[in-house]
């Protein structure tokens, strides 16, 4: 009898332990919260006109300025941005910023959440430069930011900046890199909630030479695509382009470039195989013999590198320029385009991209964009937002906007990525120990 009682007690204890473990395991499956971090739109410089296209007039926002912490609706799917950056509530919708200087230049960039590492391949510090680096700290504590620089003369002295809470700092490129022509800039925050933007604006005396946002990439790569490069034909010849490259590591890079267009795929003269010295920003000029108005570059290297393409374009009889950067592989995302009619360019072996358009009048339409190698599609007038709902693998893309003031390009990548945060939970077994 005593033996049976002890056996019963043992079985009950074992069952209790197993049940507790199962309950603990089940509870652990629900201990995460998924949210989109808030994103930041850059301030509008003096004399410029700045607008942000978002997906809804109910999007909550506030200025990034001291003592501003209350979020209020933007009240319009496209709203103006003044001298201070704007913080938008976390959302799956990526908002698009468009800035222009009347009859001079225009540029586009995405509103984005803070990043711990951003590379900018573009800009200059020479006598024509009016460019600037914008360091936006949307957090409530000060930010310390490291800025590393490279030019055609090699690595330059690194800089450290402190940005006050809920504010931004503006640093001129010609002060960062005095008399340097070809720049690559890396921004790495040590602390704070920092989003960084670069504007490359140039002038000669009172004459504007154009301007553009230089969009950022996250890291050097050995294989990437630069998509949607506009190709303007003047007197039956393509206007020249400049490929800017940096190998930031400890070894030189051997690089090959393949051009992809509706006229065919080939290696441009001088770009089939060439060496890039380590630590030196290198530029290669090329003029492709094609009639296509857009092309992409497939860049391969034996070392991780960074690259972008500078293109000069005549818009409404005036010169403007733009920077195309390395693209990321297409993934589902939503993009606010209210007031703009961007042309999207996709590049890949077999292209099948599903796009859902949400119109101002409330209608929704779906378009399957198909093609081989490279295909472009223009967003219809009156579209408030688009949503990429599907894509075949290995497809890359970018957007291009043209207005009476100028031309600008932007990457097709989410400005804010879904983050997963563990939620603390009590565990009675921990207390009992």
Cβ neighbourhood burial of 55 (10 Å; 0-12, 13-18, 19+): buried
Indicate whether 404 belongs to any domain.
yes
**180 within some domain:** yes
Q: What is the mean pLDDT of residues 214-232?
A: 97
Tell me: pLDDT of 5 over 70. no
**Number of domains into which the chain is organized:** 1
Cα 164 from Cα 277, distance rounded (Å): 38
Residue 22 lies in a domain: no
Residue 373 lies in a domain: yes
Task: Report the candidate in 283, 306, 149, 295 with the shortest Cα–Cα distance to residue 216.
Answer: 306
CA distances from residue 179 to 14, 128, 183, 248, 358 in whole angstroms, order as listed:
76, 10, 11, 21, 47
- Going by pLDDT thresholds of 50, 70 and 90, the confidence category of residue 279 is very high
Question: pLDDT confidence of 1, banded at 50, 70, 90?
Answer: very low
Tell me the residue range of the domain where 271 lies.
50-420
Question: Is 329's pLDDT higher than 50?
Answer: yes
* Least confident piece of the model among 9-13, 39-43, 76-80, 135-139: 9-13
Residue 170 above 60 pLDDT?
A: yes
* Dist CA 268 CA 129 (whole Å): 30
Whether 433 is covered by a domain: the verdict is no
Is residue 174 over pLDDT 50?
Answer: yes
**Integer Cα distance of 232 and 407 in angstroms:** 12
Residue 33 belongs to a domain: no
Whether residue 35 lies inside any domain: the answer is no
DSSP states of 369-429: EEEEEEEEEEPPTTEEEEEEEEE-TT-EEEEEEE-SS-EEEEE-S-SS--EEEEPP---HH
CB 237 within 8 A of CB 306: no
Q: In this structure, what are the phi and psi dihedrals at residue 292, rounded to the nearest 5 degrees?
A: -65, 145
pLDDT above 70 coverage of the chain, percent: 89
Query: What confidence category does residue 26 fall into, taking pLDDT thresholds of 50, 70 and 90?
Result: very low
pLDDT above 70: residue 378: yes
pLDDT of amino acid 24: 47
Q: Name the more confident of 355 and 419.
A: 355
What pLDDT was estimated at residue 317? 86
Tell me phi and psi for residue 154, to 5 degrees. Answer: 105, -170
| Cα–Cα separations (whole angstroms), residue 57 to 12, 60, 65, 108, 124 | 60, 9, 22, 20, 37
Q: Does 398 have pLDDT greater than 60?
A: yes
Query: Would you state the pLDDT for residue 23?
Result: 42
Does residue 16 lie within any of the structural domains? no
Average pLDDT of the residues in 82-108: 96
Q: How far apart are CA 376 and CA 315, in angstroms?
A: 20
- Beta-carbon count within 10 A of 380 CB: 13
Closest C-alpha among 386, 381, 382 to residue 399: 386
Q: Dump pLDDT digits (tens) for 50-68.
A: 999 999 999 999 999 988 8
């Amino acid at each position: 009898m005593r033996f049976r009682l002890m056996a019963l007690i043992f079985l009950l204890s074992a069952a209790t332990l197993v049940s507790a473990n199962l309950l603990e395991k089940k509870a652990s499956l629900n201990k995460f919260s998924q949210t989109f971090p808030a994103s930041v739109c850059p301030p509008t410089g003096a004399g410029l006109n700045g607008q942000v296209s978002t997906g809804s007039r109910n999007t909550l926002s506030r200025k990034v300025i001291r003592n501003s912490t209350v979020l209020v609706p933007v009240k319009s799917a496209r709203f103006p941005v003044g001298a201070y950056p704007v913080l938008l509530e976390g959302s799956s919708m990526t908002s698009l910023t468009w800035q222009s200087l009347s009859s001079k230049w225009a540029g586009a960039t995405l509103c984005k959440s803070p990043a711990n590492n951003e590379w900018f391949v573009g800009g200059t510090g020479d006598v024509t430069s009016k460019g600037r680096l914008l360091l936006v700290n949307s957090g409530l504590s000060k930010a310390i930011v490291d800025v590393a620089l490279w030019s055609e003369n090699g690595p330059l002295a690194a800089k450290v900046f402190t940005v006050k809470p809920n504010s931004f700092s503006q640093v001129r490129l010609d002060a960062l890199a005095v008399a340097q022509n070809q720049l690559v800039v890396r921004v790495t925050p040590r602390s704070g909630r920092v989003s960084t933007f670069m504007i490359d604006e140039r002038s000669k005396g009172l004459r504007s030479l154009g301007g553009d946002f230089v969009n950022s990439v996250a890291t050097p790569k050995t294989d990437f695509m630069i998509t949607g490069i506009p190709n303007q034909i003047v007197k039956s010849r393509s206007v020249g382009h400049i490929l800017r490259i940096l190998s930031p590591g400890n070894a030189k890079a051997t690089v090959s470039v393949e051009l992809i267009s509706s006229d065919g795929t080939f290696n441009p003269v001088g770009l089939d195989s060439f060496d890039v010295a380590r630590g030196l920003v290198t530029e290669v000029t090329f003029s492709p013999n094609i009639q296509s108005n857009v092309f992409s570059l497939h860049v391969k290297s034996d070392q991780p590198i960074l690259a972008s393409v500078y293109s000069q374009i005549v818009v409404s009889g005036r010169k403007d320029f733009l920077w195309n950067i390395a693209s990321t592989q297409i993934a589902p995302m939503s993009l606010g385009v209210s007031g703009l009619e961007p042309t999207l360019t996709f590049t890949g072996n077999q292209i099948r991209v599903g796009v859902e358009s949400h119109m101002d009048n409330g209608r929704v339409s779906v378009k399957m964009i198909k093609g081989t190698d490279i295909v472009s599609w223009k967003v219809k007038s009156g579209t408030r937002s688009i949503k990429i709902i599907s894509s075949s693998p290995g497809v890359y893309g970018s957007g291009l906007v043209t207005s009476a003031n100028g031309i600008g390009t932007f990457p097709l990548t989410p400005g804010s990525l879904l983050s997963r945060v563990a939620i603390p939970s009590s565990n009675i077994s921990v207390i009992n120990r």
